[in-house]
Amino acid sequence: MAQQTFSGVPGDFTAGQVLTAAEMDKLREFLLYLIKDGDEGDTGEVSPVIMDLGNDRVGINTVLPYESLDVYGNIGFNAEITAVPHYNGNAIGYINFHGYQGGATQYRDLGIYNGRQGRMALFDGSTLAVTIDGALSKGSGTFDIVHPIKGGDWRLRHSFIEGPQADLIYRGTVTLSGGTATIDLDEASNMTDGTWEALCRDPWTMVASSGNAVEWVLDGSTLTITGPAGAVCNWMVIAERQDDHIKADSPIADDDGHLIVEYERVEKVYGTPDEAAA
């Protein structure tokens, strides 16, 4: 390292000692010199590491660190990350993602909790929310909510409805007026006109009315039911997805959008190649 002299840099410190502003500036300048990138011929370049000693903050590739460690750029890890619980005694780790929209900071938080074994919670601001643009694969799944009757620590869960096709379910109830009823599936689902036909194919339809004989026809996104006047009918339409994502972007479906039900895994769950595939 090239030799450089800094006058007035404090040398010896004692616990609890308070440095003057001038001493802090000199110490910061000296520390920045020590952590330069190793170019001995250039002592004037800006260090990628900024130490905000007055606020106990360190910045990498940023001159204005806002957190204890503020990194502007990618971070790579080849080890386990462990954090001390700090959120009501339950949080094992917490990562905050900051974005800017309309001049305001938007927070995206990732929290890992030990309140229940293996639980991970994702937050968008203060609301629990998870958005996945790609495909989600799992061994099993449920909704898990506070029990609506028992309350307290009791929970209620139901398993996801699953099958060997990427099916969507539409259902409702209608009363036949004058012996007929017409249901527009886009309108019944609060979707823009034409969405249902763009999204769905190969529909299967069922209509039932207790004690009444009814008939039905599905033409495009229009379901027409006929039967006795005043009959209350329950209807259901199941159809397979055919949107561009399921056809082109989803790794769990083929090029026609059909679910790949059976496949051979060539990598372990955590991405390490199996010996047979190595």
Both 175 and 243 in one domain: the answer is yes
Per the structure, the complete domain to which residue 210 belongs is given by: 167-249
- pLDDT of amino acid 47: 61
Per the structure block, which two tokens stand in for 41?
Answer: 């011929």
- pLDDT of amino acid 211: 95
Please report, for residues 14, 30, 51, the alpha-carbon distance to residue 7 in angstroms, rounded to integers and kept in the order given. Answer: 20, 10, 20
Number of Cβ atoms within 10 Å of the Cβ of 22:
10
Both 152 and 178 in one domain: the answer is no
- pLDDT of amino acid 170: 97
Both 151 and 171 in one domain: the answer is no
pLDDT tops 60 at residue 91: no
Task: Give the model confidence (pLDDT) of 55-81 as tens digits.
Answer: 778 888 877 788 788 888 888 777 666
DSSP state of 132: -
Q: How many domains does the chain have?
A: 3
- On whether residue 273 sits in a domain, the answer given is no
Task: Give the model confidence (pLDDT) of 34-57 as tens digits.
Answer: 555 444 455 555 566 776 766 778
Both 177 and 117 in one domain: the answer is no
pLDDT tops 90 at residue 30: no
Task: Give the model confidence (pLDDT) of 211-270 as tens digits.
Answer: 999 999 999 999 999 999 999 999 999 999 999 999 998 889 999 999 999 988 776 554
Sheet holding 167-175, edge to edge: 167-175, 232-241, 200-208
Both 63 and 95 in one domain: the answer is no
Last residue of a domain, one of 140, 159, 178: 159
Both 95 and 65 in one domain: the answer is no
- pLDDT of amino acid 98: 52
Q: How confident is the model at residue 273 (pLDDT cuts 50, 70, 90)?
A: very low
Backbone angles phi, psi at 263, to 5 degrees: -155, 160
Task: Give the model confidence (pLDDT) of 153-202 as tens digits.
Answer: 998 899 999 999 999 999 999 999 999 999 999 999 999 999 999 999 99
Both 244 and 203 in one domain: the answer is yes
Last residue of a domain, one of 47, 73, 99: 73
- On whether residue 274 sits in a domain, the answer given is no
- pLDDT of amino acid 266: 72
Question: How many angstroms separate the CA atoms of 182 and 161, rounded?
Answer: 28
Both 100 and 131 in one domain: the answer is yes
Task: Give the model confidence (pLDDT) of 107-162 as tens digits.
Answer: 555 555 444 455 566 655 555 566 677 888 888 888 888 899 998 899 889 999 99
Both 136 and 183 in one domain: the answer is no
Q: Is the dihedral of CA 20, 21, 24, 30 positive or negative?
A: negative
- pLDDT of amino acid 144: 84
- pLDDT of amino acid 221: 97
Both 143 and 204 in one domain: the answer is no
